[in-house]
Amino acid sequence: NAGVTQTPKFQVLKTGQSMTLQCAQDMNHNSMYWYRQDPGMGLRLIYYSASEGTTDKGEVPNGYNVSRLNKREFSLRLESAAPSQTSVYFCASSDLRTGVRSNYGYTFGSGTRLTVV
Amino acid sequence: QKEVEQDPGPLSVPEGAIVSLNCTYSNSAFQYFMWYRQYSRKGPELLMYTYSSGNKEDGRFTAQVDKSSKYISLFIRDSQPSDSATYLCAMITGGGNKLTFGTGTQLKVEL
């Protein structure tokens, strides 16, 4: 059981380049999330998908786009990378069911370390 | 003001000490409370999960929720060097669809 798999683990981009971060989960979770983590800032939500077919902006969506390809996969795209997007990116998934006292905990991937020069 | 406040530390304790990590929050609708542990260069992992007020114990770890004070705590007994990590609190409302995280407290347990 792999859990949440993120690719790539490391990436260096030049300013203006584009790239897509991939995320896949094998736990049949409904909801998926993209966070960035910067020193002193904690985890900041970029976009999330509460269920297949829906996506919503989080706290810091500017400069990013997402695609919920199917129930398993949720990708994050940087169209024109900027140095301010240098960060560690985490994907997470959870089995949220509104109104049901289920486990709301997230399972996180191991992260993508992105440097934009 | 942030919805969830957490002292960033760093907190340094000797091996065997009792550690207390805390978060305060402002949204009285939060009902589910979690603690995540994040080792350096790794993703956060769920450590403890509690519903509403009260205590929950799991081995050396105890999670405590006081909804009247909007205050949650994580206690670590007999701390070990392997407990050295960043601890993040997180919480969610009953009908919510995303967690609200604290910024994390960095803990170092020294030999």
Q: What CA–CA distance (Å, rounded) separates A106 from B23? A: 19
> What pLDDT shows up at residue A99?
47
> What pLDDT shows up at residue A1?
64
pLDDT > 70 in chain A, percent: 91
Chain-chain contact of B97 with A50 (C-beta, under 8 angstroms) = yes
- Which residues contact residue A100 at a Cβ distance below 8 angstroms, ignoring those fewer than 6 apart? none
> pLDDT tens, A39-90?
888 899 999 998 899 999 999 999 999 999 999 999 999 999 999 999 999 9
> pLDDT tens, B78-105?
999 999 999 999 998 877 778 899 999 9
User: Cα distance from B46 to chain A (closest Cα, Å)?
Assistant: 7
**What sign has the CA pseudo-torsion B37, A39, A33, A113?**
negative
Chain-chain contact of A90 with B41 (C-beta, under 8 angstroms) = no
- Closest Cβ opposite residue A104 in set B32, B45, B102: B32
> pLDDT tens, B25-76?
999 999 899 999 999 999 999 999 888 788 999 999 999 999 999 999 999 9
> What pLDDT shows up at residue A33?
96
The H or E element containing residue B64 is: strand B61-66
- Chain B contact present for A3, CB below 8 A: no
| CB-CB neighbours of B71 under 10 Å | 13
Contact between B100 and B72 under an 8 Å Cβ cutoff? The reply is: no
